[in-house]
Chains A and B, each alone.
Chain A
Amino acid sequence: MSDTTPAAAARRPLPSAATLLAAQVRYQFRLLFATPSALVIGVGLPVILLIAANAKHTGAAASDAAGYAVFGLTMTAWNTNGVRLVASREQGILRRWRAAPLPPWCYFTGRIVAISLFATMAAVVTLLTGMLFYGIRFGGAAWAVVVAVLIVGALAWAAASTAMTSIVPGIAAAQPTFVLTYFPVVLLSGALGHLSGEPGWLATAVSYLPGQPVIDTVSRAIGHGDPVSAHDMLVLAAWAAASLLIAVARFRWEPYRPAQHRPARAPAPASPLRCRCGSCGRESLMPHVQTVLGPVDAGNLGRTLMHEHVFVLTADVQQNYPDEWGEEDERVADAVRRLSRLPEQGISTIVDVTVIGQGRNIARVKRIGEQVPGLNIVVATGCYTFDEVPLFFWRRPPRAMTELFVRDITEGVAGTGVRAGMLKCAVDEKGLTPGVEQVLRSVAQAHVQTQAPVTIHTHAASKHGPAILQVLKQEGADLDRVVLGHSGDAVTDPGYLQEMAEAGLTLGMDRFGIDHFATFEARSALVAELCRRGLADRMVLSHDTCCYIDWFAPGSLDDLTQWHYLHISQDVLPYLRDHGVTEEQIDAMLVRNPARILAG
């Protein structure tokens, strides 16, 4: 029968279903005792209610104790069970169990039985509290009736809540769904005091829900030693059986994923050779990257500097005080001259990460790009702020920002026809202020919608990486396409960087030449150290330099003699080679990682 060598294991009997179910019940029972909220709801709450009732009219009645015990029982079986089940599903715990050789019904039946036993024990504790402290008395026969109806009642509620989870979309919806469906039933059933004024039809309807049969049976058994009524037991058994059937048919194992977290991919290509971007229609298997001169195959990007600028300007200051900038044509010619030296040094692509807040002018960059044919310039969209959002976005809904980013990526920037190939934002020393978080979320959402990669300016010493990671994960970002910029400033803390890299981010070792934060040697030694730790596939290199920046008075940066586009090629790479970094690792940091990040 089998195509493979039959293993000895194949001849041994499988464990019986009863063994498996017993193991599941034990396991779930154990978990419940490790869940404090389950104890609070099952025991703590009913006992507090009992004490309060007793204080109000000295000597709590048997019906009070019965009501509170059943309240704890049903709240546990319905609410605690349902919410925990949804949480397990969303975390992927159910997914793991489905992959095991366990009959599916065994898993959730185990949960139902365990929570029912747990809820019954909790209700018994409440009743015992009533006996011990408030003088409620009843005999052995009544106890038998009470425990039996508690168990069957808990099974009915737990089975119903298990069936219910299949329509609860996510953990955020779980608590309100279960609470809102629970309280009307339990209040009408008289768990917190008998009702008297309800219309007859309502009273009849409630008698067929699983709350009242439990409460009535328990309080009659305690008060008068009455036996179980057939009607009540049948109602409960019917609920249990019907719910189990629904649970078997509809039980949901996979976490719920809202549609917007799975952006619709392009339709199936007519041939496997058509570009997957779905918009350019080019015949190519190779994913491509947008530059100022149009799309370029990711495999042809060559050595790439992932974080540079052409110009960094304060746009409205420049409009009013243009003297320092001088002649546009001269600045453009200067930029062409500087950038033209890059291809000579083997650099064939730069990413200009200038965005809103930094005086982005794509028409100007395009004009420069046309005159430097050997260099691909990828431009970015995003917003650069350390605290508040720019006033333009102040009173607009957050999605307004996301929409602009998406438009830059899918349609092009400001009528130039140039599409942004990267998203950028900044998280500086102040961390995730409300404004900064809004921009980060907008960038992440635009990334999820368009699959454009992300780079984030950070203040390495403040170690905001974990907070950033949390937001990115919440937004469903592909961490493999995100650069944690300015990581290279953390020259004293390779451990932090290693953690961030192992979490999936790529480290931007991208301020070579800015000796103000860290020297050339310190920056280079850090890269070599991280390479030694096996992280070459998690780093990209760059300078964060530019042809002109108006954030500093003329001349004040003259001491940064190595802050130019050629420093890595001329000085850093020889240093790295001398310090044990292999050609293969350099290739990873300059060619393969950029291609992976930019093209996906």
Chain B
Amino acid sequence: MHAITAEHLTKRYGELAAVDDVSFEVPAGQLLAILGPNGAGKTTTLEMLEGFIAPTAGTIRVLGADPRRGGRRWRARIGLVLQSTSLDAELTVETTLALFGQLYPDPRPVRDVLELVDLAGDAQTRIGALSGGQRRRVDVAIGVIGRPDILFLDEPTTGLDPQARRRAWAGVADLTATGTTVVLTTHYIEEADQLADRVVVLAAGRIVADATPRELRTRGGASSIRFPLPDRGLAAALPANLAGHVTPDGRALLIRDADVTAALRDLLAWADARHLDLDGLEVGPPSLEDAYLAATGGSLTHLEEGSHV
């Protein structure tokens, strides 16, 4: 059973299909990341799930209901962190959270929520005196204060500094651990990689990939070997199958391939024969980034395989 089901979801603005025949499901308790470049249709998709805009075609079920007819009880089970909202600058953080908490049947205590978003020290600060990143955290606090069954996060960490972003990820991970279903949009690949059970990649309104981060990686990405050559003369002495991978400046060997086992074996044998230390050798897993770039713009045959819409 699924917390969210979207089937053939389409939103047209005149000629433009902002979202074009998109289908996916989110099982309860999972975290889905919707990843894509600006203008790919991420926010439009989210706003249809949230019930703010009506799809041109297709059906949506969120917690068993059509979001356009959800009603107050349904909405009380949904937590939202939208883009470009703001709060009255004159009130304190604590007052604001208490105000929103009153709307729910069983709100989290304001103290707990402040701890969760790391703002306990700013309870008495007026909203207007907070930095952009801190305001974003208040948005997140409001999103979770009602103990939502589903939390929608539209680019929740945009504008946060790297440390705050990491803490926000930890907070989201805690929520999913307690069974909250989360849908977030992001253009930080790392964010999707860290948090998501599944990643849907959108480009120009269409799904170009729907997979786990791990599947995506193995599908599109290549592993890498990096070995800084102790001196430039060594490049000439490399076996032929490795020599082609020397970087243009002659200072390193850099190999990217779906399977680097053979190359690694050859490199080890070669180094062993020359009694070379392998200081600085790095072997990296395929990166989600490569997979993402491949999905949003790489080879087309790959995309056809990758997408199951």
The answer to the question of B303 belonging to the interface, with a C-beta cut-off of 8 Å to chain A, is: yes
Quick one: which of A261-275 are within 8 Å of B by CB? 265-269, 272-273
What string of 1s and 0s marks CB contacts (under 8 Å) between B155-199 and chain A?
000010111000000000000000101000000000000000000
Cα(A13)–Cα(B72), bound, Å: 11
A299-B297 in contact (CB<8A): yes
| Overall SS of chain A's interface | loop
* B208 in the interface (beta carbon within 8 A): yes
From 459 to 499 in chain A, residues with beta carbon under 8 angstroms from any chain B beta carbon are 478, 480, 498
Judged by a CB distance under 8 angstroms, whether A9 is at the interface is yes
What mask results when residues 561 to 582 of chain A are scored 1 for a CB within 8 Å of chain B, else 0?
0000000011000100000000
Beta-carbon contact of A286 and B297 below 8 Å: yes
**Interface mask (A533-557 → B, CB under 8 Å = 1, otherwise 0):** 1110000000000000000000000
Judge if B206 is at the interface, Cβ distance under 8 Å.
Answer: yes
Contact A533 B16 (CB under 8 A): no
Q: How far is the CB of B280 from chain A (nearest CB, A)?
A: 10
A7's contact among B77, B203, B293, by CB below 8 Å, is which?
A: B77
Question: Which of B38, B77, B85 has most chain A Cβ within 10 Å?
Answer: B85
Contact bitstring B1-24, A, C-beta under 8 A = 1, else 0? 111000000001011110010000
CB neighbours of B99 from chain A (8 A): 23, 27
Interface size class of B (residues with CB under 8 A): 35 or more
Residues from chain B with Cβ under 8 Å of A480 in the complex: 38
Answer whether residue A5 sits at the interface, using C-beta atoms and an 8 A cutoff. Answer: yes
Q: Do the beta carbons of A31 and B90 come within 8 Å of each other?
A: yes
Residues 1 to 20 of chain A near chain B (Cβ within 8 Å): 1-5, 7-10, 12-15, 19-20
Query: Does A180 belong to the interface (CB within 8 Å)?
Result: no
Whether A346 contacts B85 by the Cβ 8 Å rule is no
> A345: CB under 8 A from chain B?
yes
Residues of A within 8 A of B132 (CB): 502-503
Q: Does A511 contact B (CB under 8 A)?
A: no
Query: Given A93-B85, A99-B85, are A14 and B73 also a contact pair (CB < 8 Å)?
Result: yes
How far is the CB of A555 from the nearest CB of chain B, in Å? 31
Report the nearest A residue to B81, measured CB to CB: A99
Q: Please tell me which stretch of B142-150, B229-237, B266-274 contacts chain A, meaning at least 4 of its Cβ atoms lie within 8 angstroms of it.
A: B142-150
A56-64, A100-108, A312-320, A363-371 - the one binding chain B: A100-108
With A93-B85, A299-B293 known as contacts, the answer to whether A102 contacts B90 (CB < 8 A) is no
Given contacts A95-B85, A299-B293, A4 and B106 within 8 Å (CB-CB): no
CB pair B147–A534 under 8 Å, yes or no, is no
Pair A23/B84 contact, Cβ less than 8 Å: no
- For the complex formed, measure the closest distance between the CB of A295 and the CB atoms of chain B, giving whole angstroms: 13
Q: From residue A264, how far is it (CB to closest CB) to chain B in Å? A: 8
Assess the B50–A268 pair: CB atoms within 8 A. no
B213: shortest Cβ distance to chain A, in Å? Answer: 17
Tell yes or no: B39 within 8 A of A by CB: yes
Is A170 interfacial (CB 8 A cutoff)?
A: no
> Are B106 and A3 within 8 A (Cβ)?
no
Instruction: Please give the distance in Å from A116's CB to the nearest CB on chain B.
Output: 19
Q: Chain B 28-39, CB within 8 Å of chain A: the 1/0 string?
A: 110000000111
* Contact partners of B251 in chain A: CB under 8 A: 574
Cα-based distance from A346 to B76 in the complex (angstroms): 55
Residue of A nearest to B296 (CB): A285
Question: What B residues does A226 contact at CB under 8 A?
Answer: none
Residues of B close to A583: CB separation below 8 A: 226, 282
Interchain nearest-CB distance for B178 vs A (Å): 10
Contact flag A96-B82 (CB < 8 Å), given A14-B105, A480-B38: yes
Closest chain B residue, CB of each to CB of A93: B86
Contacts A34-B90, A534-B161; is A15 near B103 (CB within 8 Å)?
Answer: yes
A570 to B39, CA, bound (A): 38
Contact of A2 with B64 in the complex, beta carbons under 8 Å: yes
Residue of A nearest to B14 (CB): A267
Within 8 Å CB of A8, what residues of B? 106
Give Cα A47–Cα B150 distance, bound, in whole angstroms. 53
Produce 1/0 per residue, B98-111, CB < 8 A to A: 01101111100000
| Chain B positions 115 through 148: 1 when the CB is less than 8 Å from some CB of chain A, otherwise 0 | 0000000000000000011000001001000110
In the complex the two chains form, is A344's CB within 8 Å of B248's CB? yes
Of the residues B17, B73, B82, B298, contact of A299 by C-beta under 8 Å: B298
User: CA–CA, A160 to B163, complex, Å?
Assistant: 48
Residues of B within 8 A of A2 (CB): 63-64, 149
Q: B residues 261-297 with Cβ under 8 Å of A?
A: 282, 287, 289, 293, 296-297
Q: How far is the CA of A419 from the CA of B300 in the complex (A)?
A: 27
Indicate the member of A35, A286, A569 with the most B CB atoms within 10 Å: A286
Q: Which residue of A lies closest to B228 (CB)?
A: A577
What per-residue 1/0 map shows which CB atoms of A251-287 lie under 8 Å from chain B? 0000100000000011111001100100000001111
B305 at the interface (CB under 8 A from A): no
Residue A373, interface by CB 8 Å: no
Residues 353-394 of chain A: 1 if any B CB is under 8 Å from the residue's CB, otherwise 0? Answer: 000000000000000000000000000000000000000000
Chain A interface size, under 10 / 10 to 19 / 20 to 34 / 35 or more? 35 or more
- The verdict on A4 contacting B28 (CB below 8 Å), with A31-B91, A346-B249 known, is yes
B159 touches A502 (CB 8 A): yes
**CB–CB B208/A285 < 8 A:** yes
Taken together as a complex, chains A and B put the C-alpha atoms of A579 and B20 apart, in Å, by 47
Q: How far is the CA of A266 from the CA of B297 in the complex (A)?
A: 18
A30 at the interface (CB under 8 A from B): yes
State whether B38 touches A272 (Cβ < 8 A).
no
A297 at the interface (CB under 8 A from B): yes
Give the complex CA separation of A569 and B251 in angstroms: 11
Q: Contacts A15-B103, A20-B103, A600-B38 hold; do A9 and B86 have CB atoms under 8 A apart?
A: no
Judging by beta carbons under 8 Å apart, are A285 and B300 in contact?
A: yes
A214 lies within 8 A of chain B by Cβ:
no
Q: Is A3 a contact of B102 with CB atoms below 8 Å?
A: no
Is there a chain A Cβ closer than 8 Å to B87's Cβ? yes
Selected contact of A268 from candidates B17, B77, B163, B287, CB within 8 Å:
B17
Alpha-carbon distance between A355 and B142 when the two chains are bound, in angstroms:
48
Partner of A272, one of B29, B139, B204: B204
The residue of chain A having its C-beta at the shortest distance from the C-beta of B206 within the complex is A272
B300 near A15: Cβ-Cβ < 8 Å: no
Max chain A Cβ within 10 angstroms of own Cβ: one of B103, B146, B181, B247: B103
State the CA gap A99–B150 with chains docked (Å).
13
B16 near A7 (CB under 8 angstroms)? no
Chain A residues with CB below 8 A from B102, complex form: 15, 19-20, 23
* Residue B75 CB within 8 A of the other chain: yes
Decide: A285 near B297, CB < 8 A? Known: A101-B75, A268-B16, A600-B38.
yes
Q: Given A285-B203, A285-B297: A4 and B3 within 8 A (CB)?
A: yes
Say if the beta carbon of B80 comes within 8 Å of chain A.
yes
A92 in the interface, Cβ–Cβ < 8 Å? Answer: yes
| A504 on interface, CB distance cutoff 8 Å | yes
The contact of B104 among A98, A101, A298, by CB within 8 Å, is A101
- Residues of chain A within 8 A (CB-CB) of B82 are 95-96, 99
Q: Which residues of A contact B86 (CB under 8 A)?
A: 91-93, 96
Measured CB to CB, the residues of B under 8 A from A are 1-3, 12, 14-17, 20, 28-29, 37-39, 50, 52, 61, 63-64, 72-73, 75-78, 80, 82, 84-88, 90-91, 99-100, 102-106, 132-133, 139, 142, 146-147, 149-150, 159, 161-163, 179, 181, 203-206, 208, 226, 247-249, 251, 282, 287, 289, 293, 296-298, 300, 303
Can you list 21 pairs linking A and B with CB atoms under 8 Å apart?
A3-B61, A9-B105, A14-B73, A27-B91, A27-B99, A31-B91, A35-B90, A91-B86, A92-B85, A99-B50, A101-B103, A272-B204, A297-B297, A346-B247, A478-B38, A502-B159, A504-B159, A533-B162, A535-B162, A583-B282, A584-B287
Given contacts A299-B293, A574-B251, 20 further A-B contacts (CB under 8 A): A3-B3, A4-B29, A5-B179, A9-B77, A9-B146, A12-B105, A13-B105, A23-B102, A27-B91, A30-B91, A34-B91, A92-B84, A92-B85, A98-B52, A101-B73, A267-B14, A268-B20, A272-B204, A535-B162, A592-B289
3 smallest beta-carbon distances between A and B, as pairs: A534-B162, A286-B297, A96-B85
